[in-house]
């Protein structure tokens, strides 16, 4: 029973709950059991929210029994990346500096989950303060890829992706600043979406790079992400950068399965050299499938994308260095005292940050402080903001020729834990295909594209759409998913190694 | 760490090459303007909530060790 | 703490001329804070007017208070500034415990208002134009209280306590261009400038403008340069200048201090200094560098403010009468002479008189009380007249008691002393101190008889037509009644008794 439940999609669970074939408590309990079974190995969860999740599930069951009207996803459990604040559970950002910290307020998206009565299973692991591409920079140990426990699950949102890939949760929330939802989806064979910038409220997402961050859905299917996107999206008066649009029609687009006449642009600069052969092969296969289904596939060029990585690694650390200044041991979180010397607040702040932040965080704060400093601003941060303009122009030109753009999500499949830890630059290159979307603010999705021949590990296919046209992502991705699953005879995750006791 | 930073800094320097004087900077990816809030009182935290995470507090105020430099 | 050398004030001007600059921070009186909807209230229990945004908790975002933007535009218009067609907010990054995010959301190279001026009228009527560089929007910090050191000072404090109620309150910072040519009148001009800004924002209704509450704060920059030199000298910035009187004194002191430094052949240190009202001196704070690197960058969490010309004109149409116009109108309405009115303005009691007149007193009576009784006491107490503790309401009450004949003017003065001493309302003071005019003619007539008998030669003079001599008799009666007679009535009675026309 548990297996049936946990292997269902969110849409399927919603249907069964509405039909009273399953109770919300059963569904939540099944997932809690699964977490207990496998999370010792996977380490996707930093906190499991047993009591409250079951209480919410019980509320749903009682309400349904009374015939009350409930949200379509009521009773469908969800995991939340531990970068998003939740009342009643700790929010650590996977950092020592926030160990055990309890937020007195809920993120707007969490309020929406509560309003929909979706039980929150717990908080998932990430690279500390979302800085990383492998979840190895978590202060609480890495999360492991359910496809191969010696490999990374991607980052920074490796916890959320691994949780859905390991069937610990049907849905999760992540955040994406440079690919932190899409790249983990890619290497774990799951689905992840970065909405149009401003499409989902950032209020309550611990800020990394304010002009790049977005909260987005993580799931196993395109339809599931669409359903979740419709819950969390929309204008928020607490977020000045949030858009007025409300997001409807996404689920319908995901289910439509039709790409006839859809113009799909292959981004010349985002495939080929530097991309693993297996990744390239699966990418080409997807292109063939789409062509055969009636899509018009063209090649577009975005020449300024080659500067995107550099610009990103200037804008992001700069904004992050400012956003992380608040962690100083005064109002919340860790306070560490200097070992010797005068006990001044200046020294306490320094000691706290030295003890509380990991190396990658320190690296980026130093980089960001440097890039913003007088005399360097124009050449670094200032120039990077100009590159953003150029990247937007490239996208504008590309979208004049195509309705959606396509690329592999990441240049490689999941690498081994520890493999790139000593080479930050090599680590940063994981984001080369995902970063442009954040820079421009356009939406992107990653769906499973198959397994690479050489290592049998998942490959991700990325679609990008113009700003505010998130619906196009769901249409294109839904269609490709259907074509691929027909080819595979089922979802890709059905091919994943079985974890846990029930082998 | 210094070595790593140097590598990173070098690789991002290329950015200033391509960003000419004629290219405007974009600070916000989606152009919006005049997003305001009406001057109406909303929610507050109780002092207890406000201080709930405080590493050190005294009489409903956050307590910090001596400050060296006056701002 | 060593005291700095100062040069004699006038001597400083033999070789040097001062250049001034002011940064005045105005706290707006909006209902809510600049970037959050928490209440903007003074004096409540610590950390009760805060929400997660004000505390800078992880994940929070700012949202701009529309009323604060409108107030800022109005201030810009009142200062004859251009209003920016589009402007952005910027982060000013620095670590300090009163700054919850460890950056202040402010405006950097895109202020909402710029290039304005203010014509300042000095006490003798001379008008000096102060040019305004810019006015921009920003947020206030929390309040630090230093414990364990001397007199709440930061030096030697063991620890500090932070209250974030004030964090996020909207501020408008008004920056002048360098002010040259004030010469010896620099301190006077300084005071008049700050008073004018205060008056403007109060008049606009955008700030309570109470300096004693920190609603208007002044940082004064002073430098000296040798006469004839074009290049400005090194400046010092003096903070903590919390009253108009302090502004004047601090500028004067700094001129003298800079003068002494330069005369001794030393260089002036570019630094922040703190003004101490008790010693009337400044002391050294931290070294100030123009290159204090705040790493400004555009605030990514806020979008630009576009001040359309229509919106600006709409706001301009709501501006009240400017203070100068207002003054002209009051002067005409009250019928004071030029000198009388100027004295009233210079003494800082014009607003108070206006309130008192509104409460029913004749302008002449109001002027008599404020100028005659309050201004002098305020000078002695070394506070601004409005801070003394006498309100228009008190004046109305005292005046009422005199007009009703219950007390005379001399007693009225005692009543004011009593009110200031905290003895209660005017009526309560009168009762407690047993002040009452002897209104019964009987005792007066007795006292008059006694006084006449005691000074028969004076009585003769009066009978003979020398009415002026009556003063001696009146004096005798007042003495006998311990000042509790109404002098006017006494005089009347004496004349009646002697059968003389007064």
Counting every residue, how long is chain A?
A: 503
Of A91, A326, A377, the CB nearest to C56: A326
Residue C247: per-residue pLDDT: 96
Chain C partners (3+ C-beta pairs within 8 A)? A, B
CB pairs under 8 A between A and B: 143
Gap between the Cα atoms of A460 and A147, Å rounded: 14
Residue B12: per-residue pLDDT: 73
Under 8 Å between Cβ of A311 and A292: no
> pLDDT under 70 in chain A at which residues?
501-503
Which of A203, A346, A353, A376 has the highest number of chain C CBs within 10 A, making it the mutation to test binding with C?
A: A203
Least CA distance to A468: which residue of chain B? B30
Label the pairing between strands C64-65 and B36-37: parallel
Residue A37: helix, strand or coil by DSSP? helix
Beta-bridge partner residues of C216: C26
Under 8 Å between Cβ of A172 and A162: no
The domain ranges of chain A are 2-303+390-495
Residue C113: helix, strand or coil by DSSP? strand
**Three-class secondary structure assignment of C423-483:** CCCHHHHHHHHCCCCECCHHHHHHHHHHHHHHCHHHHHHHHCCCHHHHHHHHHHHHHHCCC
Q: Pick the more confident residue, C456 or C88.
A: C88
The domain ranges of chain C are 9-314, 321-408, 441-498
User: Residues C484, C487, C491, CA angle at the centre, nearest 5°?
Assistant: 135
Task: Flag whether pLDDT at C31 surpasses 70.
Answer: yes
Q: Tell me: the pLDDT tens digits for B20-47? A: 888 999 989 999 999 999 999 999 999 9
B39/C31 Cβ within 8 A: yes
Q: Tell me: the pLDDT tens digits for C317-342? A: 999 998 888 888 999 999 999 899 98
Q: What are the DSSP calls for A276-311, one per residue?
A: -HHHHHHHHHHHHHHHHTT-EEEEE--GGGGGHHHH
Gap between the Cα atoms of A17 and A30, Å rounded: 14
Indicate the burial class of A375 (C-beta count within 10 angstroms; 0-12, 13-18, 19 or more): exposed
CB atoms near residue C414 (< 10 Å): 15
Task: Flag whether pLDDT at C1 surpasses 70.
Answer: no
Q: Which of C105-119, C305-319, C377-391 has the lowest mean pLDDT?
A: C377-391
**Residue C490 CA neighbour count, 13 Å, CB half:** 29
Share of chain C above pLDDT 70, in %: 97
- Which of the listed CATH numbers 1.10.10.410, 3.40.640.10, 3.40.50.880, 3.40.50.720 matches domain C441-498? 1.10.10.410
Q: Tell me: the pLDDT tens digits for C50-85? A: 999 999 999 999 999 999 999 999 999 999 999 999
Task: Flag whether pLDDT at B7 surpasses 70.
Answer: no
Residue A424: per-residue pLDDT: 81
Q: Tell me: the pLDDT tens digits for C137-189? A: 999 999 999 988 766 667 777 899 999 999 999 999 999 999 999 999 999 99
Q: For residue C73, is the peptide bond before it cis, meaning its omega torsion is within 30 degrees of 0?
A: no
Residue C289: per-residue pLDDT: 60
Which of C161, C165, C274 has the highest number of chain B CBs within 10 A, making it the mutation to test binding with B?
A: C161
Label the pairing between strands A78-81 and A171-176: parallel
Gap between the Cα atoms of A62 and A78, Å rounded: 20
Q: Is A180 a catalytic residue?
A: yes
Under 8 Å between Cβ of C483 and C436: no
Q: Is A160 a catalytic residue?
A: no
Instruction: Give contacts of B71 with chain C, Cβ < 8 Å.
Output: 94, 96, 98, 286
Under 8 Å between Cβ of A228 and A219: yes
Cβ of residue A383 closer than 8 Å to a chain C Cβ? no
Under 8 Å between Cβ of A332 and A101: yes
Task: Flag whether pLDDT at C110 surpasses 60.
Answer: yes
Under 8 Å between Cβ of A397 and A150: no
Token code pair at residue A181: 């939802």
Per residue in A171-199, is it b (16+ CB within 10 Å) or e — as a string?
A: bbbbbbbbbbbbbbbbbbbbbbbbbbbbb
Nearest to A287 by CA among A420, A432, A423, A459: A459
Residue C502: per-residue pLDDT: 62
Q: Is A383 a catalytic residue?
A: no
Q: How near does any CA of chain B get to the CA of A192, in Å?
A: 21
Task: Flag whether pLDDT at C429 surpasses 50.
Answer: yes
- Which of the listed CATH numbers 3.20.20.120, 3.30.465.10, 3.90.1300.10, 3.40.120.10 matches domain A2-303+390-495? 3.90.1300.10
Cβ of residue A369 closer than 8 Å to a chain C Cβ? yes
Question: What strands lie across the sheet with C90-93, from one edge to the other?
Answer: C103-106, C90-93, C297-298
Q: Tell me: the pLDDT tens digits for C287-328? A: 666 557 999 999 999 999 999 999 999 999 999 998 888 888
Q: What are the DSSP calls for A224-264, one per residue?
A: HHHHHHHHHBS--TT-TT--S----SHHHHHHH---TT-EE
Average pLDDT over chain C reads: 92
Of C52, C64, C162, the CB nearest to B36: C64
ipTM above 0.85, yes or no: yes
B11/A310 Cβ within 8 A: yes
Determine if the pTM surpasses 0.90: no
A385/B27 Cβ within 8 A: yes
Gap between the Cα atoms of C421 and C404, Å rounded: 24
Residue A390: per-residue pLDDT: 96
Q: Tell me: the pLDDT tens digits for B50-69? A: 999 999 999 899 999 988 75
Which of C303, C306, C310, C312 has the highest number of chain B CBs within 10 A, making it the mutation to test binding with B?
A: C303
Gap between the Cα atoms of B60 and C161, Å rounded: 9
Share of chain C above pLDDT 90, in %: 70
- State phi, psi for A484 to the nearest 5 degrees: -70, -40
């Amino acid at each position: 029973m548990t297996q049936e439940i946990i292997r269902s999609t969110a849409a399927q669970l919603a249907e069964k709950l509405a039909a009273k074939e399953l109770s919300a408590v059963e569904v939540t309990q099944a997932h809690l059991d699964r977490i207990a079974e496998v999370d010792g190995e996977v380490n996707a969860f930093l906190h499991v929210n047993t009591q409250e999740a079951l209480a919410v599930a019980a509320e749903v069951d009682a309400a349904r029994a009374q015939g009350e009207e409930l949200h379509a996803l009521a009773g469908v459990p969800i995991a939340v990346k531990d970068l998003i604040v939740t009342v009643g559970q700790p929010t650590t950002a996977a950092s020592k500096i926030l160990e055990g910290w309890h937020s007195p307020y809920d993120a707007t998206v969490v309020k929406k989950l509560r309003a929909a009565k979706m039980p929150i299973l717990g908080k998932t692991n990430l690279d500390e303060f979302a800085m990383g591409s492998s979840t190895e920079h978590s202060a609480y140990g890495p999360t492991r890829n359910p496809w191969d426990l010696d490999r990374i699950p991607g980052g920074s949102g490796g916890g959320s992706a691994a949780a859905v890939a390991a069937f610990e949760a049907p849905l999760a929330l992540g955040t994406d600043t440079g690919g932190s939802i899409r790249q983990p989806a890619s290497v774990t064979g799951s689905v992840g979406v970065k909405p149009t910038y401003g499409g989902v409220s950032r209020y309550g997402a611990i800020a990394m790079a304010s002009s790049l961050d977005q909260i987005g859905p993580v799931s196993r299917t395109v339809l599931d992400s669409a359903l979740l996107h419709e819950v969390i999206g929309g204008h928020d008066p607490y977020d000045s950068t949030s858009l007025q649009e409300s997001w409807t029609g996404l689920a319908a687009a995901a289910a439509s399965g039709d790409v006839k006449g859809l113009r799909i642009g292959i981004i010349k600069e985002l495939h080929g050299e530097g991309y693993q052969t297996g990744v390239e092969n699966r990418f080409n296969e997807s292109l063939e499938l789409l062509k055969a289904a009636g899509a018009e596939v063209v090649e577009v060029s975005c020449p300024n994308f080659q500067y995107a990585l550099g610009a990103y690694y200037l804008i992001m650390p700069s904004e992050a260095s400012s956003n992380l200044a608040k962690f100083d041991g005064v109002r919340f979180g860790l306070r560490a005292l200097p070992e010797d010397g005068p006990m001044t607040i200046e020294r306490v702040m320094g000691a706290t940050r030295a003890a509380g932040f990991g190396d990658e965080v320190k690296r980026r704060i130093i980089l960001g402080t440097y890039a913003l400093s007088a005399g360097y601003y124009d050449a670094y941060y200032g120039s990077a903001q100009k590159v953003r303009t150029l990247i937007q122009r490239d996208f504008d030109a590309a979208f004049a020729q195509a309705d959606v753009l396509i690329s592999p999500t990441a240049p490689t499949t999941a690498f081994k834990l520890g493999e790139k830890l000593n080479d930050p630059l090599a680590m940063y290159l994981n984001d080369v295909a995902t970063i442009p979307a954040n820079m421009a603010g356009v939406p992107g999705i990653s769906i499973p594209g198959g397994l690479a021949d050489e290592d049998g590990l998942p490959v991700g296919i990325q679609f990008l759409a113009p700003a505010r046209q998130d619906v196009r992502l769901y249409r294109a991705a839904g269609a490709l998913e259907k074509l691929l699953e027909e080819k595979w005879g089922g979802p890709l995750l059905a091919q994943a190694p079985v974890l846990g006791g029930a082998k | 760490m210094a070595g790593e930073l140097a590598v990173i800094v070098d690789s991002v320097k290329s950015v200033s090459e391509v960003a000419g004087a004629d290219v405007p900077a974009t600070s916000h990816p989606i152009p919006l303007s005049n997003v305001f809030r009406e001057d109406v009182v909303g929610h507050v935290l109780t002092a207890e909530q406000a201080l709930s995470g405080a590493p050190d507090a005294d009489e409903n105020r956050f307590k910090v060790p001596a400050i060296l430099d006056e701002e | 703490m060593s005291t700095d050398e100062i040069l004699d004030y006038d001597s400083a001007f033999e070789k040097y001329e001062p250049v001034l600059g002011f940064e005045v921070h105005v706290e707006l009186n909006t209902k809510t804070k600049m970037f959050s909807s928490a209440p903007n209230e003074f004096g409540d229990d610590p950390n009760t007017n805060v929400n997660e945004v004000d505390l800078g908790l992880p994940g929070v975002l700012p949202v701009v208070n529309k009323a604060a933007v409108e107030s800022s535009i109005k201030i810009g218009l009142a200062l004859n500034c251009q209003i920016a067609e589009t402007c952005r907010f910027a982060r000013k990054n620095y670590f300090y415990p009163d700054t919850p995010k460890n950056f202040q959301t402010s405006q950097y190279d895109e202020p909402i208002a710029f290039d304005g001026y203010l014509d300042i009228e000095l006490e003798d009527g001379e008008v000096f134009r102060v040019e305004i560089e810019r006015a921009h929007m920003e947020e206030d910090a929390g309040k630090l209280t230093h414990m364990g050191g001397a007199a709440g000072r930061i030096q030697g404090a063991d620890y500090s306590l932070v209250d974030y109620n004030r964090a996020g309150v909207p501020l408008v910072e008004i920056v002048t261009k360098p002010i040259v040519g004030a010469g010896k009148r620099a301190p006077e001009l300084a005071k008049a400038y700050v008073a004018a800004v205060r008056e403007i924002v109060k008049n606009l209704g955008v700030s309570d403008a109470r300096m004693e509450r920190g609603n208007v704060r002044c940082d004064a920059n002073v430098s000296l340069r040798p006469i004839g030199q074009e290049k400005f000298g090194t400046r010092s910035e003096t903070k903590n200048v919390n009253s108009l009187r302090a502004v004047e004194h601090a500028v004067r002191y700094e001129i003298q201090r800079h003068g002494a430094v330069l005369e001794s052949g030393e260089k002036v240190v570019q630094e922040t200094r703190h003004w101490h009202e008790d010693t009337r001196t400044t002391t050294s704070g931290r070294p100030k560098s123009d290159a204090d690197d705040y790493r400004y960058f555009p605030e990514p969490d806020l979008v630009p403010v576009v001040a359309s010309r229509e919106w600006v004109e709409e706001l301009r149409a709501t501006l009240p009468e400017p203070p100068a116009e207002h003054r002209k109108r009051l002067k005409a309405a009250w019928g004071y002479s030029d000198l009388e009115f100027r004295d009233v303005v210079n003494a800082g009691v014009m607003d108070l008189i206006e309130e008192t007149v509104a409460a029913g007193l004749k302008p002449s009576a109001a002027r008599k009380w404020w100028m005659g009784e309050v201004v002098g006491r305020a000078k002695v107490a070394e506070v601004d007249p409005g801070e003394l503790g006498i309100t228009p309401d008190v004046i109305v009450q005292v005046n009422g008691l005199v007009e009703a004949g219950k007390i005379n003017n001399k007693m009225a003065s005692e009543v004011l002393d009593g009110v200031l001493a905290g003895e209660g309302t005017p009526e309560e003071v009168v009762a407690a101190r047993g002040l009452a005019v002897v209104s019964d003619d009987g005792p007066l007539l007795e006292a008059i008889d006694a006084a006449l008998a005691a000074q028969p030669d004076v009585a003769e003079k009066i009978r003979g037509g020398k009415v002026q001599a009556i003063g001696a008799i009146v004096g005798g009666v007042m003495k006998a009644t311990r000042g509790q007679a109404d002098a006017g009535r006494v005089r009347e009675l004496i004349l009646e008794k002697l059968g003389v026309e007064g």
